[in-house]
Structure 1
Amino acid sequence: MIRDADRLGFIADIQMVKKLIFSLLLLSASELCFASAASSPSPLVIPADQIKEGCTVEFISERPTNETNAPGSQPHEIAVKWICKGVATATIDRYQVEGGSPQIITTLFLKRKIFVALAKWPVTSHASDFQGDFYKVYIYKYNRESNTHPFIRDDKMMDKFGLGWDGVKDGITVTYPFKDAALIRSRLNQLKIINMNRTRS
C-alpha cells in the first residue's frame, strides 16, 4: 500500500510539473507575440477636432515606392492622411526618404484652419560635408470646400522658416532655430499668426 501511494504521489508530481512547463511555454509565447506587435510600426494619430470635429491627422509609415537602399535597410516614407467619420480618407502630403527616413517631431493647429507639422531626417553627406539632422516645417491651410483636397500647402509661409540644417557642416556646428513646438510658436507669433494650440510635442 505504501508503494502504491508513493507511486500515485510521484505520478501526481509529474503531472504538476508538466502543467507548470506548459504554462511557462504559453507565457513565453504570449510575451513573444506581444513584443512582435509592439515592435511593428503603428501610425501616429493626432486628434484634429480643433479643425473639424471627428477628424484626425494620421502619419503612416510606408515603404518607398522606388526602393534604392542596400539590402537589409528598412527606410520608410510618411504618408500624411486626413481621416474623418463618414468621409473618404484623403492624403494631405507625403514625406519621402531624403538620405534617411523622415520622423515627425511635433504638430500644431492654429486659428481652427491651419495645421503645422515638423519633420526631420538624419543626414550624413560626404559630398556636402554635413552630418546631423535636417528639419522642415510644413504648413497647411484647411480647405473646407473640398473633401478630396482638404489641405493646401503654404510654401510661401514655409520659406520663412529657412533651411533646416542642424549638425556639423564643413567642420562648423550649425543649429536650426525652429526644431520644437515652442520655437515654431514663437516664430509664428512674430509673423502675426496667433491663437495657436499644440497637439503633440
Structure 2
Amino acid sequence: MTYAASIITKAGFSINPELQSLIVPVSMICGSVVPIDLVEKTGRKPLLIGAFSVSAVSLSCLASALLVQWSGATVPSWVLVVTIATAVFSYTAGVVPIVNIIILNDMFKFQVRGKLIGLIHMFIWNCTFLQVIFFELILSALGLYSVFFMSASVNVLGALLVFFLIPETKGKTTEEIEDILAGNKSATPETAFFFQKPIGR
C-alpha cells in the first residue's frame, strides 16, 4: 500500500495521476465494509484465510505480470491496477480488522488486553518500518517482480498458520479459547498469566 503509486510508475505504466492516487484509498474503503456483516456470519477464521488467499493470488498475478513485462512482453495496464486494488481490498477486508482488532480482543482478558495489544501493535509497526527500509534494497537487488513473489509467499504462509494454529474465536469465551490453545488441557502458568492474571496483583 505504501508504494502503490511508485510501483505503478516503476513498472512503466501510464495512468491518470488522479486515478492513481485513488486506487489505494477506494480499495481500502470498500474492503473495510466487508467484515462489518461477514465476520459474524462466516466466523473469523474462514474470512481471514480467504483474505490471505486472495491477497496471495493477486500478488502472484502482479508479480507474474511484472516478470512478463521485464522479459520484454507487453502487459495491459489494467492488470497492474486490478491486482494492486485486489490485494489492498483483501488485506483491508480481512487481515487488518480481524487480526489487529477482533481476534486480539477475543483472546485476551481485559486485565491485560491493553498492554498486550499495545506491544503487538508496536511489533507490527516495527515490521512495517523495516519493510519500508528494505523495500528499495530488495527491489534493487532482485527486481520488482521478486518483491511481490516474496509477498505472495508470506500471505500463503499466513493462510497456513491461520488454518493450522489459530482457533475460531466466534461465539467463544476467553476461557474456551484458552482451552483450545492449551489442547483442552489445564492452562500452563504462562498461559494463565496472559489470560487470567489481573494487573496489579
Q: Which interval holds the TM-score relative to the shorter structure?
A: under 0.3
Rg larger in structure: 1
- State the TM-score, normalizing by the size of structure 2: 0.25
Q: Which has the higher contact order (CA 8 A, sep 6+)?
A: 2
Higher strand share: 1
The answer to which structure has the higher helix fraction is 2
TM-score of the two chains, using structure 1 as the length reference? 0.25
